[in-house]
Structure 1
């Protein structure tokens, strides 16, 4: 039932007689004859009718509001506010006929994005999903004085706080329709997660424009010059001031039914619009989606809407499964980070204490363990960029400052090799020669940014003694980045990548003689990552099984082949120490 495709529709439950439609047209468009009308199936709340008229424009949409009458005026005001930045239909008339409020709107060409994704599987989705992310970036750029729900004039009359979200969810779970359909055990599980992660639920400081139903059924696309383009964002009746992650949660609700490129491309569009996903964004979207789905269940009598109820039930259990798997991931509590620990954690904490004692404050301070056995470290302020990388994280400034930080880290770690017996209790075996403590996962997602400058290094789980170039090899893979053109996480031509790699080596201070064989070492490092991923997934590790489902192993395989194919040109390019030209 991907993208609500089989949910019961409004037109199946609310018959509107043709004479009523004729009366509305006569009232709204005086002097215009209605030649034909067609109910547009697909709406779950309101009714949309395509009108064919005697006057130009020949087509318009009659939108009949069945849930909330004031939504007509909100949509009209939003169209006026957003018409310069967002493609959406203009509302030309609002009226009432008996118990019905209706609006006449501009007709926008195209098919739904849902139709494109589900019924045209051979059409590429990457560009249109990037555009969907970019448009969401433009939507959320509009802010309001406070968080809450709009009246007919877009004034917030019902404020929205963190407690309001929680109270609403609790009220939904107490509703007979909800408890009947999902049961006490599921309700208890949802309550536990809402309590555990309450600090991640949006508060009154989130004041961005939220569409609140931003998903493929509400986006129109059309093929223009052989490319699918978004022509309209529809159905703004639930729009309010709040967290833009609400719209992310709606768009990604069915991402587990789609190829990885669906989510990856959408997130790339967000990044290109300047949006940076916050820490624990996946957990945040899960929580928002749970609250939204609970609200849907309250309005979902199973006898009248059996397909919708069944789909919501499945979605709720999918989200709970996702939250279960995230239990083993990172939590932020005040200015502390609580992370899963392992047999190696005490050794890592000794190393972190040593670094900070030596004056290396760019790493977190170890604070022991919580009552659940998770390690606790201090929170480093700044931004972390996940893939697709933000413009700041992919900048040359970030690359250069990352290389300098890695050099400082390596130099300071050398003393730890002399003071202890560090060959014991590391997550991975030591690698000869033991010159420094390798971070072993030195990549943009483990670095803290202030603007474009790298100011911190986190996640030392995989640290172990080894040669400097072992860290440098992986850093080059991630920062150049030496990725196959099909890898959405990468960018640049091979010449661009070699240039960035050369800049990194120079900033680190890696002399020419130590650059020989670096390509082979990058391949070896990437192969070790691939082997670890495959073995961990085979052994039942949920995190790496999800990575496999998302095709991470296929990316690494392609990247290895790409490195082998370009080995000679990379080796030659890395030796050009004096050249800073591409």
Structure 2
């Protein structure tokens, strides 16, 4: 999960689930225009901001006809066209919100925006936090099935999407093919007071060099890619609903940073913070993923960790008091300690 800086286009951070917050963010004239020209449930009679991502604002809109939509506005970086195209591409296989409108160039209201139908559900982060002992394996089965479906979408070449045609010809971030160089570059930008010693930093680069051949191997494996990578596939970007035998994924959110590469990027993201996963989740995940058609090579766990080091290193470039930077620093220290 690369977050927001120079590599936001590659491994981005999503909105964190459709969680209501307080306040009002949409101008009345925009609401009137949307009611008249886009929404089929009549005028907008209620709005509520939802928790947003690094580069988007999300607002729940309710109409007089009882319909509910999510308005997504792109504040820092316009990825509307790509996100809408990816969601339409995966919708036959993956539960995603229905795209109602993608105004990618802002011709409708003067700014890029995406409107989707609201999907009810509980944030995966909340479900994981309150999961009972018996919930872990069913959650692993449901989520592994969805992740395998995402990884079933293939592309002719790896890369970053440049527009609605989903061609993988967008400019590539610096060092994105060279794990040791990437980690070293991120550490050079990391705050000195992040809690990583000089020895920790050197050891992290050393691990990146050790893992680089495995990274190259799995990225070149045609059974693993080029596949669609969500790039922020973790509980906060999943909506879940209860079913008769556990929880099921009702929607995968926040596709703005999707790209094409090795499917194990998403596996590493999902399993990054193992201590936050319910008991039995990690144990059930590999077999559930394979049963759903996903491919895991013999060294899949180490390879997915190695690929996820791109994301962890990028998080280290955030300010030292940022919660994600703190978590990333703790994880980096644990990775180094385990490798010694």
Relative to the length of structure 2, the TM-score reads 0.80
- Partner Cα separation in structure 2 for residue 166 and residue 217 of structure 1: 29
- Partner Cα separation in structure 2 for residue 101 and residue 87 of structure 1: 24
Query: Contact 2:24 / 2:48 at 8 angstroms: preserved in 1?
Result: no
Indicate yes or no: 2:88 matched with 1:80: yes
Tell me, which stretches of 5 or more residues in structure 2 are unaligned?
1-12
Q: Match of 2:112?
A: 101
Tell me, which stretches of 5 or more residues in structure 1 are unaligned?
1-6, 325-582
Query: Contact 1:162 / 1:204 at 8 angstroms: preserved in 2?
Result: no
- Within a 5 Å distance, the mapping from 1:505-544 to structure 2 comes to none
Query: Contact 2:204 / 2:332 at 8 angstroms: preserved in 1?
Result: no
Q: Match of 1:296?
A: 315
| Counterpart among 19, 24, 31 of residue 18 in structure 1 | 24
RMSD between superposed Cα atoms in Å? 2.9
CA displacement, residues 206-239 of structure 1 (integer Å, 9 cap, x when unaligned): 3111111111111111123464211111111111
SS at match of 1:125: helix
- Partner Cα separation in structure 1 for residue 278 and residue 272 of structure 2: 13
| Counterpart among 146, 151, 154 of residue 143 in structure 1 | 154
- Within a 5 Å distance, the mapping from 1:261-280 to structure 2 comes to 261-280=280-299
Please report how far the alpha carbon of residue 66 of structure 1 lies from its aligned counterpart in structure 2 after TM superposition: 3.0
| Counterpart among 51, 55, 58 of residue 61 in structure 2 | 51
Change (3 A) 1:185 1:210: same
- Partner Cα separation in structure 2 for residue 140 and residue 37 of structure 1: 35
Q: Match of 1:468?
A: none
Q: Match of 1:247?
A: 266
Query: Contact 1:178 / 1:294 at 8 angstroms: preserved in 2?
Result: no
Q: Match of 2:49?
A: 39
Q: Match of 1:185?
A: 199
Please report how far the alpha carbon of residue 148 of structure 1 lies from its aligned counterpart in structure 2 after TM superposition: 0.8
Please report how far the alpha carbon of residue 321 of structure 1 lies from its aligned counterpart in structure 2 after TM superposition: 3.0
Please report how far the alpha carbon of residue 34 of structure 1 lies from its aligned counterpart in structure 2 after TM superposition: 2.3
Indicate yes or no: 2:243 matched with 1:215: no
SS at match of 1:275: coil
Give the helix-richer structure, 1 or 2: 1
Query: Contact 1:172 / 1:178 at 8 angstroms: preserved in 2?
Result: no
- Partner Cα separation in structure 2 for residue 124 and residue 104 of structure 1: 33
Change (3 A) 1:323 1:280: farther
Q: Match of 1:566?
A: none
Change (3 A) 1:323 1:52: farther
- Partner Cα separation in structure 2 for residue 81 and residue 92 of structure 1: 14
Indicate yes or no: 2:335 matched with 1:319: yes
Larger Rg: 1
| Counterpart among 60, 67, 70 of residue 69 in structure 2 | 60
- Partner Cα separation in structure 2 for residue 189 and residue 228 of structure 1: 40
Change (3 A) 1:82 1:259: closer
Query: Contact 1:89 / 1:108 at 8 angstroms: preserved in 2?
Result: yes
Query: Contact 2:229 / 2:260 at 8 angstroms: preserved in 1?
Result: yes
SS at match of 1:88: coil
Change (3 A) 1:185 1:62: same
CA displacement, residues 467-490 of structure 1 (integer Å, 9 cap, x when unaligned): xxxxxxxxxxxxxxxxxxxxxxxx
| Counterpart among 246, 251, 256 of residue 232 in structure 1 | 251
Please report how far the alpha carbon of residue 178 of structure 1 lies from its aligned counterpart in structure 2 after TM superposition: 4.3
Relative to the length of structure 1, the TM-score reads 0.48
Q: Match of 1:133?
A: 144
Query: Contact 2:60 / 2:70 at 8 angstroms: preserved in 1?
Result: yes
Please report how far the alpha carbon of residue 302 of structure 1 lies from its aligned counterpart in structure 2 after TM superposition: 3.2
Query: Contact 2:191 / 2:320 at 8 angstroms: preserved in 1?
Result: no
Higher relative contact order (CA 8 A, sep 6+): 2
- Partner Cα separation in structure 2 for residue 201 and residue 99 of structure 1: 43
| Counterpart among 292, 296, 304 of residue 285 in structure 1 | 304
SS at match of 1:51: strand
Query: Contact 1:146 / 1:204 at 8 angstroms: preserved in 2?
Result: no
SS at match of 2:140: helix
Please report how far the alpha carbon of residue 75 of structure 1 lies from its aligned counterpart in structure 2 after TM superposition: 1.4
Deviation above 4 Å: which 4+ runs of structure 1?
Answer: 97-100, 159-162
- Partner Cα separation in structure 1 for residue 306 and residue 229 of structure 2: 16
Please report how far the alpha carbon of residue 245 of structure 1 lies from its aligned counterpart in structure 2 after TM superposition: 0.8
- Partner Cα separation in structure 2 for residue 204 and residue 143 of structure 1: 14
